[in-house]
Chain A
Amino acid sequence: MSGKFSSKINSIIILMITLILAGLSAALLFFFFSFNKKLNRTEEDTVYKRYYAMITGNDESNFVDSLYDSMIAHATDQESYVEILSKNLSQEYSDRELVKIAIASNVDGIILYADDNSELSDLINEANEKNIPVITLFNDFDLSERLSFVGISNYNLGKEYGNLIIGMMDENILKDDVIKVCVLVDANSGDSGQNVLFSAISETIEKEHKLHPYTHKPAEVRAYPVDTSNSFSVEESVRNLLMDTSTDKPDVVVCLTENETTSMYQAVVDYNEVGSINILGFYDSPAILKGIERNVIYATISIDTDEIAKSCIDALSEYYELGNTSEYNTADIKVINRSNLNEYKEEDENEK
C-alpha cells in the first residue's frame, strides 16, 4: 500500500521534474531561435524586384517625409523599393551628383524633386539613354526627356492663392488701399513654374479688381527671393523680409514651401506682426495647422501626398509593364482655413 503510494508520488515528481526541465529547455530553444530570427531579419527580408532612387535635394521637411512614407507604401505593394538617395550617405552631394550616382548605380527609376535647371536636364537625358526612367516631381523639366511629371498645376495653385487674397478682402481683413502681396520664391531656381504661379496670383487679383473696382482693391504683387542654398538660409531669408525697412511691410505673404510657411509663422509671432501680416501657407504639417487655429496663418493649401506618391510609383510600374505612361499627372489641391480646419482634422484622423 505504502509502496504503491510512494511509487505514485515518485512518478508524479519525476514527471514534474521532466516537465520543468522540458519547459526550461523549450524556453531556451525558443529564446535562441527567436533571437536568431531577429538577427536573420535582414537576411530574410523580402527582396524587391525594382529599386527607385528619390532625389529630394536636402529637403528634410515633413512634407517630404510624408511623401516618402506614402511612396514606400505604394512601392512595396508593387514589389519595388524607394530610397531617398542622400539619406544614408556620409557626404552631402548636390542634386546633380546624386543623379549621377543614381545613374551609375543602375537604379530602376529616378524620382527627381529638384529645382528646374538645364544642368539636370542633361543628366535626365543621360539616364533616359541608359533606360532609366525619370519622374520629375512638382517641377517639370519640360525640356528634358523625363518620363513623366507628377505635381500640381502652378497656375491653379496661383489662382487659388489669388482667390484666398480676394477672400481676405471680402472679410475686410486687408485695410490698405493698395494691397501689398509678397510671394516667396526660390532664389536659386530658374523654374518657369514659379513665374506661372506668380503671374496667376497677380492675374486673379487684377481680374477681380477690374470686375469689382470698389469692393476689391488693387494689389501690388512682388516676389521676394528666398535663399534655399543651405539648410538654414530659408529661415534667415524669411526673417530678413520682416526686418527689411527699405520696403513697406507686406499685407499678405504667400509661402510656397512648408519650411517657408513655418518660418514665417514663427517670425510673425516673434516680431509681433500678428494681424498686420497675413500668411498664406503651403502644406498641412501640425505646426501649420496650429498656426491656422491660432489665427496667425490665414489659410494653407494642402496637397494629397499619398496621391502624388501613388502617381509616381504607378508611372514607373506602368513604364516597366507597358513601356510607357502618361507624361503629365497633377494632384488636387485643397484649401484649409479656420472654417474647415476641424473637419479636415477629423478626416485626417479617420484616414490614419
Chain B
Amino acid sequence: MRNKFRNLSLQYKITFITLLLNLIVFAINVVLLVSINNMSDRIDSVYRANLQLNDIQSSLNEVQDNMTEYLNVKTSDALEDYYRSAQAYRNLISGLDSRITQSPIGRMGRAIYNMSENYLDETEQTIEAKRGRNVEKYHVRYDEATALYGYISTYVYSLNNEQFRENSDNYREMVNAFRLFETLGNIIMFGVILSNAFLIMRLTAELTRPLKSLTGMATEVSKGNFDIEPLPVYSEDEIGVVTKTFNKMVVSIQDYIVKIRESATVEQQLREKELLMESHLKDAQLKYLQAQINPHFLFNTLNAGAQLAMMEGADRTYEYVQVMAEFFRYNVKKGSQTVTIGEELELVDNYIYILNVRFSGDIKYEKEIDKALLGVEMPSMILQPIVENCVNHGIRDMMGEGKITVKVYSIDNTACISVEDNGVGMSEETIARLMSGQPVTKDDGRSSTGIGMDNVMARLKLFAGYDEVMGIESEGEGKGSKFTIYLDMKEA
C-alpha cells in the first residue's frame, strides 16, 4: 500500500491526500447530519401524533353533529354529510397505532378504534331507526351513541395527554441528547480539523523531504564537491525521477572530470617528451660540430716544436709556435665550453698574429672594445671563424692594405660584437645564403679550424635561443663587409 502510494505521481498523491481528508470530513458530516435529521424528525413526530389526534377529535365531533343534525331536520343533505363525515372518520381511525404493548398509547388507540367501530355502528342504527320512524329505538340508540361519543372523546383526550406526557419525556431526553450530540460533534469536527492539519503537514513533509535533500545535494555539487553519496530514491514520482537523473548527472560529471584529468596528463607527458627530444638534438648537434674541430695531435706536436725552438734560441719561432699552440689549445680546451667575449678576442688576436707572420704583416687589425662587456658569455669559436671569413673572402683577393676592425659595444641590454673588413664585399645573394645558414662555397668547411659560417650561425642560434643573432652588411662590391653579433648580456 505504502509503496504503491509512493510510486504514484505527485499530482495523484496530492489529489489522493486531499480526497482522503475531504472524505473523512464528509463522512463525519454525513453521520452528524443524518443523526440531527433523525432527531428533528422525532421532534416533528411528537407534534404529528398530537395533530392526528386533534383531527380525529374534530372528525368525531363532525360525525356526532351531523347525526344530531339529521335527527333534528332529517334532510338528505344532513344524511349525506353524515355519511361523508363517517367515512372520513373511519379513514382517520384506521391510521391509529392499535398494538397491545406496555405503552398505553397503542392500547388506547386500540380502544378508540374499537369503540369508534361500535360508535359508528350505533349512529348507523340511530339513523336507520330515524328513517324508519322508530322513535323509541332511535332515542335509545342515540343515547348509546352519545355515551360512546363521550367515552371516545375522553379516550382521545387522555391519549393526547398520554402522548404529550410521553413525548415531553422524549423531548427532554431528545434535547439533552441533542446538546450532547452537538458537543460531541463539535469535538469530533475539531479533532478532525486538527488531525487533518497534522496529516497534511506530515504528508507534505513526506512529499518534500526528497526535494529538500535534493536541494542540499545540488548546493554541495554547485560548490564543486562531486564526492557525494548518491541520493536514495524513495518514490517513482516526478521527484524520484529528478533524483535519479541528478544521481546520474553527478556520476557523469565525475566521469568527465576524470577523463579531462587523464588527457591533460597525457598532453603534459607528450610535451615533456618533445622538449627532451629537442634538447637531445641540440646536444647532438653541438657534439657533432665540436667533433669536427679536435686537433689534439697538432696541439701536442706544436708544443714540442716550441720547446725545440726555445732550446735552439730561435725566439721568434718560439713565439710563433707558442701562439699557434695557444691558438689550438684554445680549440681543445674551450671548444665545448661557453667562454667570455674577452677570451674570444684573445683568440682573434692570436689568429691575426699568425696570419701576419704568414703573410708578413699585410693585415691591419683595429679594435674598439667596451671593456665592461669583456665578461659577457658567448659560445666559443665564433669570432675567429668570422674574422677568418673576412680575411679569406674579403681581404685576400683585394689590392692594397686589408683592414679588420673589431668593435664591442652595447645597445640597451644587448652586447654587440662587430667584425668589419674593407675587402671585396658581398653580393645580396651571398648575404642571404649566409644568413640562412647555408654554405656559400663548396669548400666552405675547409677553414683553418674546420668551422664554417653555417656552423657559427647554427651554434649562435642554439646558444641564444633566438634567430636574430647576427647581422651581415655590405654596401656592395669593393666596399667591404660587416658582421655583427647580438647577444643578450649574461655575465659569467
B258 touches A (CB below 8 Å): no
A320 touches B (CB below 8 Å): no
A38, A45, A88, A105: residue with the most chain B Cβ atoms closer than 10 Å: A105
The closest CB in chain A to the CB of B195 belongs to: A17
Measured between beta carbons, the chain A residues less than 8 angstroms from B154 are 89-91, 93
- Bound-state CA distance A105–B442 (Å) is 166
- Bound-state CA distance A50–B99 (Å) is 10
A104 touches B (CB below 8 Å): yes
B101 touches A46 (CB 8 A): yes
A-contacting 9-mer, from B169-177, B329-337, B356-364: B169-177
Interface residues of A in 1-49 (CB under 8 A from B): 3, 7, 10, 13-14, 17, 20-21, 24-25, 27-29, 31-32, 35-36, 38-39, 42, 45-49
A338 touches B (CB below 8 Å): no
A interface, over-half SS? helix
- Bound-state CA distance A104–B107 (Å) is 13
Measured between beta carbons, the chain B residues less than 8 angstroms from A51 are 100, 107, 110
A209 touches B (CB below 8 Å): no
Measured between beta carbons, the chain A residues less than 8 angstroms from B195 are 17, 20-21
Query: Given contacts A14-B202, A39-B170, A90-B161, are A104 and B100 in contact (CB under 8 A)?
Result: no
Measured between beta carbons, the chain A residues less than 8 angstroms from B177 are 31, 35
Query: Given contacts A39-B174, A45-B102, are A105 and B184 in contact (CB under 8 A)?
Result: no
A42 touches B105 (CB 8 A): yes
Of A25, A36, A104, the contact of B28 (CB 8 Å cutoff): A25
B397 CB to closest chain A CB (Å) equals 101
Q: What is the 8 Å Cβ interface bit string for chain B, positions 75-101, against chain A (1 contact, 0 not)? A: 000000000000000000000000111
Measured between beta carbons, the chain B residues less than 8 angstroms from A106 are 114, 117-118
Measured between beta carbons, the chain A residues less than 8 angstroms from B192 are 21
B198 touches A83 (CB 8 A): no
Query: Given contacts A25-B28, A88-B158, are A104 and B118 in contact (CB under 8 A)?
Result: yes
B interface, over-half SS? helix
B100, B148, B180, B198: residue with the most chain A Cβ atoms closer than 10 Å: B100
B184 touches A24 (CB 8 A): yes
Measured between beta carbons, the chain A residues less than 8 angstroms from B206 are 7, 10
A96 CB to closest chain B CB (Å) equals 11
Measured between beta carbons, the chain A residues less than 8 angstroms from B38 are 32, 36
Of A21, A27, A29, A105, the contact of B114 (CB 8 Å cutoff): A105
B19 touches A (CB below 8 Å): no
Measured between beta carbons, the chain B residues less than 8 angstroms from A32 are 31, 35, 38, 181
Measured between beta carbons, the chain A residues less than 8 angstroms from B173 are 35, 38-39
B472 CB to closest chain A CB (Å) equals 85
How many A-B residue pairs lie within 8 Å, measured between CB atoms? 114
Measured between beta carbons, the chain B residues less than 8 angstroms from A3 are 209
B188 touches A25 (CB 8 A): yes
B103 touches A (CB below 8 Å): yes
A101 touches B (CB below 8 Å): yes
Measured between beta carbons, the chain A residues less than 8 angstroms from B103 are 42, 45
A334 touches B (CB below 8 Å): no
A100 touches B (CB below 8 Å): yes
A81 touches B (CB below 8 Å): yes
- Bound-state CA distance A14–B209 (Å) is 18
B429 CB to closest chain A CB (Å) equals 89
Interface residues of A in 218-238 (CB under 8 A from B): none
A42 CB to closest chain B CB (Å) equals 4
The closest CB in chain A to the CB of B27 belongs to: A25
- Bound-state CA distance A48–B115 (Å) is 20
- Bound-state CA distance A101–B158 (Å) is 14
The closest CB in chain B to the CB of A10 belongs to: B202
B106 CB to closest chain A CB (Å) equals 8
Measured between beta carbons, the chain A residues less than 8 angstroms from B158 are 88-91
Q: Which 6 A-B pairs have the closest CB atoms?
A: A105-B111, A45-B101, A106-B114, A48-B100, A17-B195, A42-B103
- Taking Cβ atoms with an 8 Å cutoff, the residues of A that contact B are 3, 7, 10, 13-14, 17, 20-21, 24-25, 27-29, 31-32, 35-36, 38-39, 42, 45-51, 81, 83, 87-91, 93, 97, 100-101, 104-107
Q: List 10 A-B contacts (CB under 8 A).
A: A20-B195, A28-B184, A28-B185, A31-B180, A35-B173, A39-B42, A42-B166, A47-B101, A81-B101, A105-B114
Q: A32-B35, A45-B102, A97-B151 are in contact. List 4 more A-B contacts (CB 8 A).
A: A20-B195, A24-B184, A97-B147, A104-B119
